Chain A
């Protein structure tokens, strides 16, 4: 099959992405259990970052390879105006790459649409209220379900049912709101969208369920820790608030791009136990813990990018891609 220059480039990008992503996806899939084990032993904020990095690494690195190696080597070394035949295996890889992206983008759009619909419904059913002692307003809704959630991607807002406000003391309510705002500060809803956008190992096999569940669980722990901020009294108050909200009844399912206080009802016992343990060993939050690994990652990334865009790498990559196309 002979295809023109630009279409061949598009197919090349999709096929290269698929192959690199498949290889890295399998590595991430094998490493998932170890990564979750490691993340559970780390500080929740660091653990959540690790799991998110492992989850997004295959797609992120594959995109980098396509953008920094495949695309430049093609435009630099492939002669223009010479239609070339392409093989069936290459075409299949491109089709699988396109299917993977199509499905994940579709899933993300559907999730965003569902979330927007829910937020509109909440806004119709409630009103923006400034609660006593709170700097920013929250949406208070009349809902029989005990909802406490953070909705919205760019400027997320806390949505809370009046039932919950009535059931909690002012300290417990403040603790719950601090928890939700902690999710907002870490941009967890935006990260959820990124996770949905990142393709699965194969178009119809996501394969990262354990990683995603582990990440969701640890982000809740991280938000609990941020809300408690190393203060034993605050930890205790948040634990009491969690139990009080759980007593109000089950929370119905919520849209995927919304963070809910009781999202993982099965984890309630662990969360309360963690908060009670934090009252014994108050750990001050340090902002410098991530600086060293962060700098290391930036230096390593820089070296990697430099190696990738080197003419010798591009030339070798072009030769490899030529073989792949046929």
Chain B
């Protein structure tokens, strides 16, 4: 029964990505970069000195939040990210948008109009860049034709 409840709770946690603290986010970045790592590996990669227990607690918390998988190797836990960085970002973005759209109507409209504007700006920047390339190519062709 307890195992069943644990599983259900873990399942619910997986549907909504949990918020990450600063140290948790840093540790996740390290694991995405390194892949499978133990507490020592993470400590060595961190840019500041932290106690072994602090890193161990952080990794354990990330495991309990459902972000990491772990297995025992030579009496120590080895942790690995459950999702790739991209999958995690997609989950977060999806959750953010879903939360925004489930709010009152104006907030949904506001979000969509902001997204359309942002996409439009990006498109405009891309078209500017393409036009710049075409102008440059035309110039090169003209120079080649001149004796």
- Tell me whether A243 and B137 are in contact (CB under 8 A): no
- Tell me whether B127 and A279 are in contact (CB under 8 A): no
- Tell me whether A243 and B141 are in contact (CB under 8 A): no
- Tell me whether B134 and A276 are in contact (CB under 8 A): yes
Bound-complex Cα distance A268 to B124 (A)? 13
- Tell me whether A276 and B137 are in contact (CB under 8 A): yes
Cβ distance A228 to chain B, nearest Cβ, rounded Å: 13
Interface of chain B, main secondary structure: helix
- Tell me whether B137 and A279 are in contact (CB under 8 A): yes
- Tell me whether A243 and B138 are in contact (CB under 8 A): no
- Tell me whether B138 and A236 are in contact (CB under 8 A): yes
Interface of chain A, main secondary structure: helix
Contact of B33 with A by CB under 8 A: no
Cβ distance B143 to chain A, nearest Cβ, rounded Å: 13
**Chain B contact residue count (CB 8 A cutoff):** 10
Closest residue of chain A to B123, judged by CB? A246
Contact of B131 with A by CB under 8 A: yes
- Tell me whether B134 and A239 are in contact (CB under 8 A): yes
Among B123, B127, B133, which residue has its beta carbon within 8 angstroms of that of A276?
B133
Closest residue of chain A to B119, judged by CB? A250
Given the complex, which residues of B lie within 8 Å of A276, measured CB to CB?
133-134, 137
- Tell me whether B133 and A272 are in contact (CB under 8 A): yes
Given the complex, which residues of A lie within 8 Å of B115, measured CB to CB?
none
Among A247, A268, A272, A279, which residue has its beta carbon within 8 angstroms of that of B141?
A279
Contact of A186 with B by CB under 8 A: no
Contact of B112 with A by CB under 8 A: no
Given the complex, which residues of A lie within 8 Å of B131, measured CB to CB?
240, 243
Bound-complex Cα distance A276 to B140 (A)? 11
Closest residue of chain A to B124, judged by CB? A247
Given the complex, which residues of B lie within 8 Å of A247, measured CB to CB?
127
Cβ distance B124 to chain A, nearest Cβ, rounded Å: 8
Contact of A134 with B by CB under 8 A: no
Cβ distance A167 to chain B, nearest Cβ, rounded Å: 13
Contact of A92 with B by CB under 8 A: no
Interface residues in A253-311 (C-beta closer than 8 Å to B) = 268-269, 272-273, 276, 279
Cβ distance B89 to chain A, nearest Cβ, rounded Å: 20
Cβ distance B142 to chain A, nearest Cβ, rounded Å: 10
Contact of A323 with B by CB under 8 A: no
Q: Can you spell out 25 A-B residue pairs with CB atoms less than 8 angstroms apart?
A: A232-B141, A233-B141, A236-B137, A236-B141, A239-B130, A239-B134, A239-B137, A240-B131, A240-B134, A243-B127, A243-B130, A243-B131, A246-B123, A246-B127, A247-B127, A268-B126, A268-B130, A272-B133, A272-B134, A273-B133, A276-B133, A276-B134, A276-B137, A279-B137, A279-B141
